[in-house]
Structure 1
């Protein structure tokens, strides 16, 4: 996981590339306009139409510059990290201090260019919108990448904005509508205002649920009997399709040259490229593909290496067959999955190292939700108590699960108790 945090100061003395380009455009536009006007007057005085050709060339030159400028901006969006772009583009107001956190495994590298551009526009516009109501308030912004969408959460402390102000803001709605995004606002007592927005990563199918879509999987297993059993298992599942099999990691990578897959199910011990090397390669070359580790080897060193390479699903070969099917469906819903043997051996997520740091990454509202879970309140009861919608509550929970690398809500309660939020 990659976690970034930057505090944006009230005044920025350096000028970024976007500002510089904008100033150049404005200056050139003014100069081109003056030049055209001057040439036009000469043309009228001398009654010579040839000067119109010069004016046309001036127009063409300016259009060419605008084209280059547009390509430069698009290139900047593609090559710079999203966090850096947001930091550079944010216009901090004297009335507000912005704390920005981004949470993504690969720094949003796989995000569609149009989605990325809309997030940048929405972020800057929403910061400006909130700043108009702010008098020295603190704004906490989180941008978190999930498997199917990006969540943008604005939490402004000790400020309560009327909901009508947001619903009447045509600019914010227009930006999100272009990418099928949604937003809503809530005022939380004793805290302030939150604005919750989500943008789907798949613009062609924003609900990520084509009726006829099946989960595509590749199985890497070097034992023929085990491989045959897995193929037979998934053949009975209408929502899962085995598109290829491999005896080692190299064969998986070869398959990916011609096939697209959602999930790779891999053993650890295989000849040639093993499961650990395969997981590392997939993380670097195909970060969108989910990895399910299906193995007998639940040893500390293996598990640690695989977690470092992005594996979030572990199923023991001693598990019931239904465990593997459940793991496939769970990971496609954006969740982690750990079989009972794994949980029994390792407890929370294979390691408790760094849990304090992970808890520190949570916002005040997220910590409040964890404490409410630990007091045995249901998700619905917490949402009602905080006066937020079920959708916003779901986003809060999804963010907590992702940050803590937790598999389900029960593990949140387990973590809360272990950290002594409440007594056993």
Structure 2
């Protein structure tokens, strides 16, 4: 039996995933968490065969949570679930130690297959992710400017591109407005931009606004 921890801040998403998983006789959802910190508390106290982890959560996001999970137990397989396309977070997730990356719109048809493959010690990657990995391997020096941003800087970039204010970003990420401003300054410097309007246009040009 594959014992699974689901981490997602939306109850309706967790319920949908549980229905898919519980239809299979060889796997079972044994715990749920609605935040990164709640997930870490469970991981510190219990052992799981596999963790399903959402990328976009308020406060500590999925990538940060993934890195801390891997520090605690480098062997536990983690499958990242995201509403974002593979191009935005898949590479960051795999480099941080994820065993697979899946968009939520494909979860209903691919989730059980992915869980079985990952729990067997293998990786689950879509064709698009495989192409991204190959491109990254052979074109390390041809990366787009935003690919050099840290995970947190990239997250702030996306929130600014949606029109979120520094105050709102700080609240959603559970950090101070001053820290958000620091990230914003780094983003502007690294991308050679001047203001929020430039960030928004950059996100549109590189299709980062979803």
CA 1:320–1:306: 2 relative to 1, 3 Å: closer
Aligned match of 2:101: 314
Aligned match of 1:244: 31
| Residue 338 (1) aligns with residue 121 (2) | no
**1:34-67 CA distance string (max 9 Å, x none):** xxxxxxxxxxxxxxxxxxxxxxxxxxxxxxxxxx
Q: State the SS of the aligned residue for 1:272.
A: coil
Aligned match of 1:352: 135
The within-5 A match list for 1:98-247 is: 214-247=1-34
Q: How far apart are 1:301 and its partner, in Å?
A: 4.5
**1:151-200 CA distance string (max 9 Å, x none):** xxxxxxxxxxxxxxxxxxxxxxxxxxxxxxxxxxxxxxxxxxxxxxxxxx
Q: How far apart are 1:347 and its partner, in Å?
A: 4.4
Q: How far apart are 1:296 and its partner, in Å?
A: 1.1
Q: How far apart are 1:348 and its partner, in Å?
A: 2.5
Q: Is the CA contact 2:4–2:29 (under 8 Å) kept in the aligned structure 1?
A: yes
- Distance in 2, matches of 1:221 and 1:260, equals 18
Q: State the SS of the aligned residue for 2:79.
A: strand
Name the structure with the higher helix share.
Answer: 2
Q: Is the CA contact 1:303–1:350 (under 8 Å) kept in the aligned structure 2?
A: no
CA 1:285–1:336: 2 relative to 1, 3 Å: same
Unmatched segments (≥5 aa) in structure 1:
1-213, 358-424
- Distance in 2, matches of 1:320 and 1:301, equals 18
CA 1:283–1:320: 2 relative to 1, 3 Å: closer
Aligned match of 2:115: 328
- Matched residues, number: 140
| Residue 295 (1) aligns with residue 82 (2) | yes
TM normalised by structure 2 equals 0.61
Q: How far apart are 1:300 and its partner, in Å?
A: 3.6
Q: Is the CA contact 2:86–2:103 (under 8 Å) kept in the aligned structure 1?
A: no
**1:274-313 CA distance string (max 9 Å, x none):** 1100111112111111110111112545223212211131
TM normalised by structure 1 equals 0.31
Q: Computing the radius of gyration over CA atoms, which structure comes out larger, 1 or 2?
A: 1
- Distance in 2, matches of 1:299 and 1:325, equals 19
- Distance in 1, matches of 2:107 and 2:37, equals 28
Aligned match of 2:173: none
Q: How far apart are 1:257 and its partner, in Å?
A: 2.8
Q: What is the aligned-residue RMSD (CA, Å)?
A: 2.1
- Distance in 2, matches of 1:283 and 1:330, equals 19
Q: How far apart are 1:352 and its partner, in Å?
A: 2.0
- Distance in 2, matches of 1:329 and 1:349, equals 23
- Distance in 2, matches of 1:260 and 1:319, equals 27
- Distance in 2, matches of 1:353 and 1:322, equals 28
Q: State the SS of the aligned residue for 1:329.
A: helix
Aligned match of 2:57: 270
Runs ≥4 residues deviating over 3 A: none
Unmatched segments (≥5 aa) in structure 2:
141-210
Q: Is the CA contact 2:36–2:61 (under 8 Å) kept in the aligned structure 1?
A: yes
